[in-house]
Structure 1
């Protein structure tokens, strides 16, 4: 819950006292020492109230700063602990439930986190069985979760203080996949450009209602494991994949390359969207149901309106 700004109301008698005789100390006289002390006390209280109100109305800045400080001061995760977390997560995965990752899929993502030369910035779309695992493996970095359910986000934060997570209202549908792909092509030079500030984008595929700071982070890795995409009216992952492609290409700092993982890559929406916005030439491996892309950032001063060097030219190529 966001704190409410508090206001201080001055009683009318104070105004009367201040206005009597044209000065605080009486007509034409110097302020009485008692009045000077009273004024000093009042000004101190007002200053304190203003400062307190300022900080209580900026809960994110305060929370983010404390989380970043805590992450920076955390000791490195020992390799045996890192490996043990992966081992037990892998052995408890259910091969009959594709929403849970296999041991090989988990290791593919973990290897990227392990290789980060600096603490990793990891952006995860979807709350899954592996949510706490990603937070733990990247304990020295920044891990941000995005999900379609405000309820699940609040429960996650309630049970795990310190986790950074946000809910998003997705407006796309799985059944609209090909229509939205065609729309994005028609807007490639305008709202759906591969390099842009998503905060100001009007593209139907763009996720532009996250907190401002999310768009300023140089993400090292982006995992797309949500939202739901297994029935026609589900939002699907088209918007998440498009947004990941733009974030990777629009970076102005950090590593030149961004690792983008798409889970359940065997489904039509994930496969077609990935080929369109992450590009088949950037696909470095497929492990189980996980597609691993490496996308390079681009020069902002060069007008390039194509996501891929060789864009898919037909439905047959995207499928």
Structure 2
């Protein structure tokens, strides 16, 4: 079988800039993976910020738009946060992503660091499972004008301030009033994000193939305000009715402060993130391993 991905970018530690011993560890890992890909016959480049962080100068470097335009594949080395950061940016280019887990949990960076040499050769030659994930686009409107926008692969979260009491949020779906929620905040989660913050707030697990969002209140004042699953073509609007120092975060990576009357409008993006997994990968295997299901059972 011929090589399916001749031009590969390696992305690692995309958001964090480690120092000291962590730099050495990251540099060694990135160099080893890049060298391994080269031996497989790939033309290898490093993401610009990855090269800057590690100090590696053995391979050419590319900014994110160049990766999207010129590379057939991105191999992402790190944790889920690293994957979220680069996944949002490469979605518009349709660049497939393979995740090698150098973090702790690894829901979406699912190849263990010590096993990449076992899995990558077959995947580079076309033996993989492809998994498309939806992306949200959120806009903050102030007096009807957009003042902030961002994409999210996991969730859009509206939170109360760190020292403030709960907030009151007006929720609309496709322009129709749903309810006013008095709570610590509210989460709009994709199926990918249903295993993140939304899960700890009592939200449901959504299979990645389900075209839906989960709307999950955070510590609601009224216990009958429960999570609800919505079809993802809808537009969700959240208005700040009361409360101080509220903020909106997108994948917990892009954050903006909110004023009374601000509206956060969330729609399904036209872009989707493409994950590639080893042949035989199963979403349920991931849930069972990461959530420790059946531990102690037969």
When the two structures are superposed, what TM-score results if normalisation uses the length of structure 1?
Answer: 0.22
Structure with the larger strand share: 2
Structure of higher RCO (CA pairs closer than 8 Å, 6+ residues apart): 2
Bigger-Rg structure (1/2):
1
When the two structures are superposed, what TM-score results if normalisation uses the length of structure 2?
Answer: 0.23
Structure with the larger helix share: 1
